[in-house]
Amino acid sequence: MLNRTDSVQAVDLGLTWDNAFERLGEGFFTRLAPLPLRGEAYWVARSAAMARELGLADDWWQVQGALPAVSGGQPLAGSAPLASVYGGHQFGAWAGQLGDGRAILLGEVRTTGGGSQELQLKGSGLTPYSRMGDGRAVLRSSIREFLCSEAMHALGVPTTRALCVAGSDEPVRRERLETAAVVLRAAPSFIRFGHFEHFCHSGRHEALRTLADFVIARFYPDCRDASNPYAALLGAVTQRTAALLAQWQALGFMHGVMNTDNMSILGLTIDYGPFQFMDGFDPARICNHSDHLGRYAYQRQPEIAHWNLFALGQALLPLIRQPDAALAVLQPFPALFSAELDRRMALKLGLPQASDGSRQLVQALLDLLTRERTDWTIFWRRLARQVAGDLRQPVTDLFHDRAAIDRLLLQYQELLAQSNRAQTADLMLKTNPGLVLRNHLAEQAITLARQHDFSMVQSLHDALQRPFDEQPEHADWCNFPPDWASQIQISCSS
């Protein structure tokens, strides 16, 4: 291990560590301690919900050494820091060996619910896998990841989590000079498709088997008794990924950089960079201005997920051994995705299950929303409120073509004819959020944070924990984005 903090006393936050990934052996990682931020570290934001899940005391952040510990300056007692190696396809091309280039896995801790979470410091300095990078994360990207991962969890989307963000005035060069930050994020596992690709492409098939057996034993135990456990693993990951993509599409969420090294083997949303929640609905929307060919446009996300699963299948083929068996579990993806998206769109209409009528209505609504670039979140929330009897902000006011929306609303009323109105409204209000993390909100919080005013970061985080509640105190955050929001450019450096 490169012992960058050996002379510093470890900080005990009362966490119970296990560190199962470490037991895979040295071929899977490099032991490496975090590199402390240069300059005095300071708190940017914390998630009380994540702290409770980890069993931390309410005042954990006031423990002596807590701030240095979550910013890389002091070791956490019980942790076993390391950087893992993986590979991946980036923008469709094989990129070779990658790895944790700016992240350090501290280890795995037990949670209050009986599960476990791996804790990782992102932005904690150079590793053997940094390639041309500097190993740092900037304040901007750390705030975005912290806010969005916790917001997605509150929306019910499988995701990595975040405990806190710490910053410093250490300069970091991106498109312009920025300052450094570290986000402490959490997940049951940070293993990606790219981990399997690395061991396959490097010909290390026994290590590939060790990794697959580890994932099956820990996260997919039902696969162990299958006639072909590794094909069963691929099938299970396919199902989870299809369900995740349906949730993204239903929320109007764009990941922005769906490389295979950014795809979780557990079907989690991982590596928040140039993400965006849709404003005016545009299926061809590209949220990453580094994506010059539109590979990761909103409407292409399901297709790309399927492509990535084929890359995972190729990586697992030395274990599956039967190409037909791999194809058999990959081919259902489009049908799985479509069925789950149909179900989620029906729920947005307040219907417990999809039908031919709901599918036809959804398609007609999508066509109209596309023509008029109607705000995705506001449209669905207004429709929910209207069904609930709130007519203060009519849905029809969102459209120029009143005749078209009137026809569709009439069709919708006919579809609801046999439904219980109160139950329908309740389901819609619990399905269609009023508040999501739009780019302009994150940008406003980041602008203040650059002036060492972190109040909006924390307030926005707290509000995003209640996305389905009416929040009149934050009415502006639930309103239309300002004109300048369309000029925000988010890149892979974000």
d(C-alpha 309, C-alpha 194), whole Å? 11
Amino acid at 279: D
Other residues' Cβ atoms within 10 Å of the Cβ of residue 400: 9
DSSP 130-178: -TTS-S-EEHHHHHHHHHHHHHHHHTT--B-EEEEEEEEEEEEESSSEE
Q: Active-site residue among 6, 213, 261, 483?
A: 261
DSSP 181-248: EEEEEEES---BHHHHHHHHHTT-HHHHHHHHHHHHHHH-GGGGGSSSHHHHHHHHHHHHHHHHHHHH
3-class SS of residue 476: helix
Q: Widest CA span of the chain, in angstroms?
A: 73
- With H, G, I as helix, E, B as strand and everything else as coil, classify residue 179: strand
Backbone torsion region of residue 269, taken as left when φ is above 0, otherwise alpha when ψ lies between -120 and 50, otherwise beta:
beta
Map tokens 């083997």 to a residue.
Answer: 265
Structure tokens belonging to residue 203: 């010909």
Q: From CA 202, how far away is CA 469, in angstroms rounded? A: 50
For the CA atoms of 162, 294, 264, 267, what is the dihedral angle to 10 degrees?
90
**Where in 39-86 does DSSP place strands (E)?**
42-46, 82-84
Rounded Cα distance, 295 and 149, in Å: 23
Q: What token pair was written down for 260?
A: 């295979």
User: Catalytic site residue 261?
Assistant: yes
How many Å apart are CA 70 and CA 322, to the nearest integer? Answer: 45
Q: Which of 46, 86, 83, 80 is nearest to 184 (CA)?
A: 46
Q: Which two tokens stand for residue 7?
A: 């002379």
What CA–CA distance (Å, rounded) separates 296 from 332? 22
Contact, 275 vs 144, CB < 8 A? yes
Indicate which residues carry an active-site annotation: 261
